[in-house]
Amino acid sequence: MIARTLALPIIAAVSIAATSLPSLPSDAALPSSKWWEKVTVTVASEDQQPTCTFSSSHTGAKPCSIDSAPGALAGAGPEQGQMTKIVFERRFDPGAVEPDHAELAAGEMLLGGQVLKLAIDGHGKVASCAIVSTAGELKPEYGCDQAASESFTSGAAKPASSGYMTVLIYAHSEQVA
């Protein structure tokens, strides 16, 4: 399928500037609420600069920045008249019950994913983390080390909690009319 064939070279050619991604709002009820966020990289053809959009359950879609060297997609991008979207998504589910298998929309192909089981202390820091399942050929770069570097709180101390972070990379290709 086109998405799998093109996705890996596109991922290799494009790096997302993490500093340009918005953070969750300070009033977010983390880690006691379910939430998601995703970055969608769209490549319309190998001779065009990819575009990037950040969206989350707390905010609307916002442009984000990506870096790719000129010509980095040569021979890797979609042909004229085609478009490929690569989505990097995180989903947080609070509680001690592992979420069901992550559903993707029709036409989307899972490239890689993993589920992290997190124990979060009262200050929002990850006290423990374990990868409990993996899927697909591509291992997400977000794992326990990255989760441990974040703060999962709105600022006020809360009781310790637990939850699951599902990290997905998936793609979709289509003809552009």
- Domain total for the chain? 1
Using one digit for the tens of pLDDT, what is the confidence trace for 112-142?
A: 899 999 998 888 889 999 999 999 888 888 8
3-state secondary structure of 15: strand
Q: Are 71 and 143 in contact (CB under 8 A)?
A: no
Predicted structure pTM score: 0.78
Nearest to 144 by CA among 166, 121, 124, 116: 116
Q: What is the mean pLDDT of the chain?
A: 76
| The predicted structure's pLDDT at residue 9 | 54
Q: What are the residue ranges in the chain where pLDDT is below 70?
A: 1-31, 45-47, 67-82, 154-157, 175-177
CA atoms of 162 and 119, how far apart (whole Å): 4
DSSP 8-state symbol, 160:
-
Residue 146: how many CA atoms within 13 Å on its side-chain side? 10
User: Containing domain of residue 93, as a range?
Assistant: 2-175
| The predicted structure's pLDDT at residue 138 | 83
| The predicted structure's pLDDT at residue 161 | 84
Tokens linked to 162: 């637990």
| The predicted structure's pLDDT at residue 21 | 47
Can you list the alpha helix ranges (DSSP code H) found in the chain?
2-13, 144-148
1 CB contacts (<8 Å, ≥6 apart)? 109, 173
- CA dihedral over 50, 110, 116, 138, signed as positive or negative: negative
Using one digit for the tens of pLDDT, what is the confidence trace for 22-35?
A: 555 444 546 678 88
